[in-house]
Amino acid sequence: MSVASDLDLATVLQRIVEVARDLAGARYAALGVLDPSGTHLAEFITVGIDDEQRAAIGDLPKGHGLLGLLITDPRAIRVPDLNEHAERFGFPPSHPPMTSFLGVPVYVRGEVFGNLYLTDKEADEVFSDIDEELVASLAAAAAIAIENARLHERANELSLIADRERIGRDLHDSVIQSLFATGLAMQGTARLAERPEIKSRIGQHIDAIDETIRQIRSAIFELDEVRLPGPSLRLEIIELAAGAGRVLGFEPGVRLDGPVDAAVPDDVATHLLAVLREALSNVARHARAARVDVTVSAGAELLLEVVDDGVGGAGGNPGGNGLRNMAHRAEGLGGGVEIAPGPTGGTSVRWSVPLST
């Protein structure tokens, strides 16, 4: 009941280790959680070792020695002195000495989720068969608690996805449509205006509405994206531009359109970031620019545009390695690169590659 009293998975796992130590009367306890391959430990949750000791020990175990034996052969193990066991791997420096050992696998839905490890029986020299039965019973109950916590997390994820879909629909069906209608009305008003400066000002407002619509659509794409573990390409682009700002003396403007995180494969993202880094470096070296705009859009193709207002030459030496590398990266992905004068001077670098749909 104690273990199952919380639905947060991290809290449940920590509680399992605490209860296992109390049941067996151990000085130290740990739960090693297996990685998806089931061959190594991905997490190692401990009780009995404080933060300072953990920091002194260094890297957490990956599953060697007796810990690894439980991974390859998931059956309970009791050892009176683990230092004399044939499979012992040894302790790293600063690790507290340990002697008696009890290890019990934790099964969830018929598959090994991880292993409970207990060392140094406090009231006796070794762990007993009763200790083993108690911890094995705990492991069976813990499996139910772990599964309930997982289901709770999944329910929360589905609820979040539903909320994102609802927000996306509201933005598309209400906000965008209202802005679009306002833009059309302003276009009609502009035709009635007699003074050129009024027409120009209305045109600027219409352009601002169009830009707002693009930004909202990009936000809708972001809501729809499936978030996978690992870095966000959007974030990496923004961080790269911010880092270039320290060299340029100002931070480039960044606009991201479409499902940049979801639609761009990792290998393509690596090339994109390298090209963006080269393009911004060229601006810093050659352009003497006061403004740089970076646009990345993902649709049928991945498009990167870097436009500056400098003196030209930010595309680099036509025969230089930088431009050749940009072209080589694009051609290897079935795309191309164009270097041209910017719309108001300076240089425009346009790099594009097709994306699978």
**pLDDT tens readout for residues 11-41:** 888 888 898 999 899 999 998 888 877 788 8
Question: Which pLDDT does position 222 carry in this prediction?
Answer: 65
Give the percent of the chain with pLDDT over 70.
91
What angle, 0 to 180 degrees and rounded to 10, lies between the N-to-C axes of helices 177-192 and 196-224? Answer: 170
Question: Which pLDDT does position 219 carry in this prediction?
Answer: 73
Q: Which of 166-170, 208-212, 269-273, 310-314 has the lowest mean pLDDT?
A: 310-314
Residue 276 pLDDT > 90 = yes
Question: Which pLDDT does position 231 carry in this prediction?
Answer: 64
What angle, 0 to 180 degrees and rounded to 10, lies between the N-to-C axes of helices 321-332 and 266-282? Answer: 160
pLDDT digits 0-9 by tens, 164-210: 777 777 777 778 888 888 888 888 888 888 888 888 888 888 888 88
What backbone torsions phi and psi does residue 18 show, to the nearest 5 degrees?
Answer: -60, -45
* Torsion sign over Cα 262, 263, 264, 267: positive
Cα-based distances in Å from 56 to 27, 42, 47, 62, 92: 19, 20, 16, 17, 10
CB 341 within 8 A of CB 349: no
Residue 111 pLDDT > 90 = no
Question: Which pLDDT does position 302 carry in this prediction?
Answer: 95
Question: Which pLDDT does position 50 carry in this prediction?
Answer: 80
**Residue carrying the six token digits 């407002």:** 205
Question: Which pLDDT does position 318 carry in this prediction?
Answer: 53
Pick the closest to residue 311 from 347, 272, 336 (CA basis): 347
pLDDT digits 0-9 by tens, 220-265: 766 655 444 456 788 889 889 888 888 888 888 888 888 888 788 9
Residue 320 pLDDT > 80 = no
Question: Which pLDDT does position 228 carry in this prediction?
Answer: 45
The average pLDDT across 74-84 equals 87
87 half-sphere exposure, CB direction, 13 A CA radius? 15
Residue 312 pLDDT > 70 = yes
Residue 301 pLDDT > 90 = yes
CB 351 within 8 A of CB 326: yes
Cα first-last separation, the chain: 49
Q: Which two tokens stand for residue 70?
A: 């439980």
| Residues ≥6 apart with Cβ < 8 Å to 237 | 254, 256, 260, 272, 273, 276, 294, 296
Q: Residue 351: pLDDT band by 50, 70, 90 thresholds?
A: very high
Question: Which pLDDT does position 144 carry in this prediction?
Answer: 79
Q: Residue 71: pLDDT band by 50, 70, 90 thresholds?
A: confident
Give the percent of the chain with pLDDT over 90.
22
- Going by the DSSP 8-state scheme, the letter that residue 109 receives in this structure is T
Question: Which pLDDT does position 206 carry in this prediction?
Answer: 87
The average pLDDT across 127-146 equals 87
